Amino acid sequence: MTYCYHVCICLFLIIVQTTVMPYIPLFQGFYDLLAPFVIYLCIFRPLRESIPVILFFGLVMDTISGGTFGLYLTTYLWLFIGVRWVITFLHVGNNPLLPFIVVAGVFMENLIFVSSSVIFEPGLRFTSEMSITIGVQVFWAIFTGPMFLLFFNYSFGKWDKRVKEISTRKVDR
Amino acid sequence: MFPKKMVMIVGVIVLIAVNIILLSVFNRRYISYYGSGKIAISIVAPFQKATSTSIRFVRDIWRHYFFLVSVAKENERLRKDLNRAFEKNIQFKDFELSNARLRNLLNFQKTITDRVLAAEVIGKDPSPWFKTVLIDKGKRDGVEKGMAVVIPEGIAGQTTEVSAHYSKVLLIIDHNSAVDALVQRDRARGIIKGGSAGQCLFKYVLRKHDVVVDDIVVSSGLDGVFPKGLAVGYVSGVIKPKSGIFQEVTVTPYVDFEKLEEVLVVLTPKKHEFEREK
């Protein structure tokens, strides 16, 4: 049931960012919504639960995106490794630190995308438009990133509680 | 034997190197992951279609029934007419020029009008760094990999991945895209590549050609994907460097990719068949 929650949330985030957000001009240039979800998995969920979800949705994102195959998978795995490393010496369960973690995650994701484009596309240069895109994403991440993390944590808590209630009722019968 | 920290650093470096090599391999050779690709698109696309259909339904209700019913309809009709006329005009210009030049040289076989299939855009690329869209037509509708995708204003892109009911379209503004094109006026040839900020770069145009701002760029048909004479965009900037054999030409596409909703997939790309000499 835990995986079911993760799959539903990831699907919801993918649909929102590929279908709903393009209709709203304000959200053009918004960051990848799966990045805060990966960060949420790193901080709040166990390793064995997070890895399959990251692998599966990394592949899904690679398929629906036009980038090099494996780019999203790479990005999510490095994001996962990076955040796991950070939480070994930073107590990020503390809410004030969450914006910085999300911003660092979004920045890292963009850095990997831009680096891969510059490395694999001969003649492609880092332009001012690229820095503006990264800047806008970081700006959004500062204000909305922690909210996403708290929402994921809260909704999972509710989901888990509900599932436990249902299974207890079944056992009682 | 070695300190733990050292092993960790070496491990990370090796991991990064392996990662870059793998990405480089995938980047050089586009592998169509038919299995995983089809499954992933089949999982996501139905939800995307349902969501985009609902959004359009609500938006259309607002546009057509609450917000100036007749004016909106009239406007839509006129816009379609204008687009059609615009497209025809560009095509006629191109036909006129090519007819005059080639009539005496080649015995052109009359080409059959391309078969096209209308499709709806159901999802856009999740990343702002890549420019692709998902459309609601796939293999079962006759779509294949590498087919041209156009709209009345001009070329939109080409299909790069096809599942049973859905396809992924690589737009011409993506930096992985390449379209063989010509300047309509003086036939300067080059390759249209995706640039930044929704613009395209017209690469490999020789310095000797007199390309000027506002020149119309059309597809040459030589790439075997896009039919000849379709509008791509207009020249919005020309830089002739003092050295080098090419000039730097920027092209603004006619297609507004932010508002791309319906597209046409060209099912039978035009093949230029030359009559064999008897």
pLDDT digits (tens, 9 = 90+) for B153-176: 889 999 988 888 889 999 999 888
In this predicted structure, what is the pLDDT of residue B105?
Answer: 42
In this predicted structure, what is the pLDDT of residue B188?
Answer: 87
- Positive or negative, the CA dihedral A85, B19, B158, B186 is positive
Say if the Cβ atoms of B126 and A61 lie within 8 Å: yes
In this predicted structure, what is the pLDDT of residue B71?
Answer: 78
The two tokens of residue B42 are 């089949």
Interface test with B, best of A65, A69, A85 (most B CBs within 10 A): A69
pLDDT > 90 in chain A, percent: 3
Query: E-strand spans in chain B?
Result: 116-124, 132-135, 148-151, 154-162, 167-171, 178-183, 189-194, 200-206, 216-219, 231-239, 246-253, 262-266
Comparing CB atoms, the residue among B19, B41, B176 nearest residue A64 is: B41
User: pLDDT tier at B110 (50, 70, 90 boundaries)?
Assistant: very low
Q: Is residue A99 part of a domain?
A: yes
Q: Is residue A171 part of a domain?
A: no
B161 interaction partners in chain A (CB closer than 8 Å): 63
Closest-CA residue in chain A for B134?
A64
Q: Is residue A168 part of a domain?
A: no
Q: In the predicted model, what is the mean pLDDT of chain A? A: 84
Closest-CA residue in chain A for B46?
A15
Q: How many domains does chain A have?
A: 1
Residue that wins the pLDDT comparison between B66 and B230: B230
Q: Is residue A129 part of a domain?
A: yes
In this predicted structure, what is the pLDDT of residue A168?
Answer: 80
A75 interaction partners in chain B (CB closer than 8 Å): none
**Which domains does chain B show, CATH number per domain?**
178-254 (2.40.10.350)
Nearest to B27 by CA among B166, B130, B127, B179: B130
B20 interaction partners in chain A (CB closer than 8 Å): 119
Using the CB atoms, write b or e for A40-54: b if 16+ within 10 Å: bbbbbbeeeebeebb
Q: Is residue A164 part of a domain?
A: no
pLDDT at B103 over 80: no
Over residues B52-67, the mean pLDDT reads: 77
Say if the Cβ atoms of A71 and B23 lie within 8 Å: yes
Over residues B73-101, the mean pLDDT reads: 80
Residue A26 touches partner B, C-beta closer than 8 Å: no
Q: Which domain holds residue A78?
A: 34-152
Global pTM?
Answer: 0.74
Using the CB atoms, write b or e for A125-147: b if 16+ within 10 Å: eeeeebeebbeebbebbeebbbe
Distance of CA B90 to the CA centre of its chain: 18
pLDDT digits (tens, 9 = 90+) for B200-236: 888 888 888 888 888 899 988 888 888 888 888 999 8
Comparing CB atoms, the residue among A60, A71, A124 nearest residue B44 is: A60
Residue A129 touches partner B, C-beta closer than 8 Å: yes
Over residues A136-160, the mean pLDDT reads: 87
Of A10-14, B70-74, B136-140, B227-231, the range with the lowest mean pLDDT is B70-74
User: pLDDT tier at B36 (50, 70, 90 boundaries)?
Assistant: low
Say if the Cβ atoms of B129 and A74 lie within 8 Å: no
pLDDT digits (tens, 9 = 90+) for B259-271: 888 888 888 654 5
For chains A and B, count residue pairs whose Cβ atoms are closer than 8 Å.
115
Q: In the predicted model, what is the mean pLDDT of chain B? A: 80
In this predicted structure, what is the pLDDT of residue B276?
Answer: 47
Q: Is residue A18 part of a domain?
A: no
pLDDT at B35 over 50: yes
In this predicted structure, what is the pLDDT of residue B31?
Answer: 56
Residue A20 touches partner B, C-beta closer than 8 Å: yes
Q: Is residue A136 part of a domain?
A: yes
pLDDT > 90 in chain B, percent: 8
Instruction: Specify which residues B266 forms β-bridges with.
Output: B116
Instruction: Measure A171 CA to nearest chain B CA, in Å.
Output: 33
Say if the Cβ atoms of A121 and B41 lie within 8 Å: no
Say if the Cβ atoms of B126 and A74 lie within 8 Å: no
pLDDT digits (tens, 9 = 90+) for A93-139: 667 777 888 888 899 888 888 888 877 776 667 777 788 888 888 88
